[in-house]
Amino acid sequence: MRRRIDSLRETLHKEGLEGYLVSNGANMLYLTGFEGGSRLLISADGDCILYVHRVNYDAAEDAVKDCEVRRVDYGDDLERVLARRIESLGLKSLGFDVMDAQTYMKMEKLLRETELKPRRDVMWALRKVKGEDELELLREAAEITSMGMEKALEIVEDGMVERELAAEIDYEMRKLGSEGTAFETIVASGPNSAYPHGGRGDRRLERGDLIIIDIGARYGGYCSDMTRTVTLGEASPRKIEIYEAVKEAREKALRIMRGGVKAREVDAEARRTIAEKGYGERFLHGLGHGVGLEVHEPPMLNPKSEDILTPGNVVTVEPGIYIRGFGGVRIEDTVLVLEKGVEVLTRAPYRLVVR
Ligand code: CO
């Protein structure tokens, strides 16, 4: 954590910021190792103060090594406390990650000598390149996710309700060490599979359905994200055609991925492959997104992305085709960007018909 705070300070110096105020829980976790803080105030020249509500104070004191922990109590005016500290530290320019409008207006009024600057990009620049310690946790999250998928492919059966299969997967991943899930598990079958985020989860699986299974474990705070699409029994020629198109898009995208490549070019490669098969309009989302302490973070792989892939980025690759009323196919893996190519972190077969 010390190293991460030092990196933030380096950035602050470079960007001409005298301090930084953190309100986002994942950013606080990244910098202090503790998620339950209320605010984190860091000066470019040495102060690091984590403000923690009474309910989490003991836990914070036990967990946080590199920052001063300050208790916040019922009735304390946290903005006023912060403003006083910011003023006593003499911080003339203060970057911050997020703040709701009401808090921002209040802080503006309280801070007469300090300029507030919305700079969430400062934190993203740090977080989007993963260190070895983070990669270890991301690999474990991916491993648990892969075992969850293995379980799913083993037990998926017609007659099962979507939600029931989701629950079994979640249970399996929890037993393997997952901290809850990175997001709500999606099992979307038949016409529901045409919605990228699934339906209500109450449909019974039928033979011949396209079934999208999108899952992610969380380990040490780090997320994972993977999808397989399967069918039970026989797949119609159209389903096979869609599946093969998505699979090819995935392979082509992975083939050109490496440090230095524009994220939107990787998206374009997958999109072109799907468009050539006549389904360009049915690829309803970007090719992928960064994964870390949050399941959707920069860099983004989509047609408008300005991101350039860098070694240490961990991103999803998830082409999909969705045909309303018919069904959809998505295949997704979480991958680590390397100087030359990628390392695929999640693993499970790419097979449409499971049994
Ligand atoms: Co995803």
Q: Where are the domains of the chain?
A: 2-127, 132-344
Question: Taking a C-beta distance cutoff of 8 angstroms, is the pair 19, 92 a contact?
Answer: no
User: How many angstroms separate the alpha carbon of residue 217 from the centre of ligand 1?
Assistant: 12
- Residues around ion ligand 1, judged by CB within 5 A, are 225, 316
Give the C-alpha separation, 174 to 236, whole Å. Answer: 35
User: How many angstroms separate the alpha carbon of residue 86 from the centre of ligand 1?
Assistant: 39
Mean confidence (pLDDT) of the chain: 97
Mean per-residue pLDDT, 202-210: 97
Question: Coil, strand or helix: which one is 248?
Answer: helix
Identify the architecture of domain 132-344 in CATH. Alpha-Beta Complex (3.90)
User: How many angstroms separate the alpha carbon of residue 3 from the centre of ligand 1?
Assistant: 29
User: How many angstroms separate the alpha carbon of residue 288 from the centre of ligand 1?
Assistant: 6
Mean per-residue pLDDT, 35-44: 97
- For residue 133, what pLDDT band results from cuts at 50, 70 and 90? very high
User: How many angstroms separate the alpha carbon of residue 332 from the centre of ligand 1?
Assistant: 7
User: How many angstroms separate the alpha carbon of residue 32 from the centre of ligand 1?
Assistant: 27
**Cβ-based burial of 75 (10 A; exposed 0-12, middle 13-18, buried ≥19):** exposed
pLDDT of residue 313: 98
User: How many angstroms separate the alpha carbon of residue 225 from the centre of ligand 1?
Assistant: 5
Question: Taking a C-beta distance cutoff of 8 angstroms, is the pair 314, 345 a contact?
Answer: yes
Sheet of 288-290: strand order equals 297-301, 288-290, 314-317, 333-337, 342-344
User: How many angstroms separate the alpha carbon of residue 167 from the centre of ligand 1?
Assistant: 19
User: How many angstroms separate the alpha carbon of residue 72 from the centre of ligand 1?
Assistant: 37
User: How many angstroms separate the alpha carbon of residue 87 from the centre of ligand 1?
Assistant: 42
In this structure, the dihedral spanned by the alpha carbons of residues 238, 240, 243 and 248, taken in order and rounded to 10 degrees, is -110
User: How many angstroms separate the alpha carbon of residue 138 from the centre of ligand 1?
Assistant: 15
What would the CATH number be for the domain defined by 2-127? 3.40.350.10
- For residue 1, what pLDDT band results from cuts at 50, 70 and 90? confident
User: How many angstroms separate the alpha carbon of residue 226 from the centre of ligand 1?
Assistant: 7
User: How many angstroms separate the alpha carbon of residue 212 from the centre of ligand 1?
Assistant: 12
Element (H, E) at 230: strand 226-230
- For residue 109, what pLDDT band results from cuts at 50, 70 and 90? very high
User: How many angstroms separate the alpha carbon of residue 353 from the centre of ligand 1?
Assistant: 22
User: How many angstroms separate the alpha carbon of residue 318 from the centre of ligand 1?
Assistant: 7
Question: Taking a C-beta distance cutoff of 8 angstroms, is the pair 231, 240 a contact?
Answer: no
pLDDT of residue 340: 96
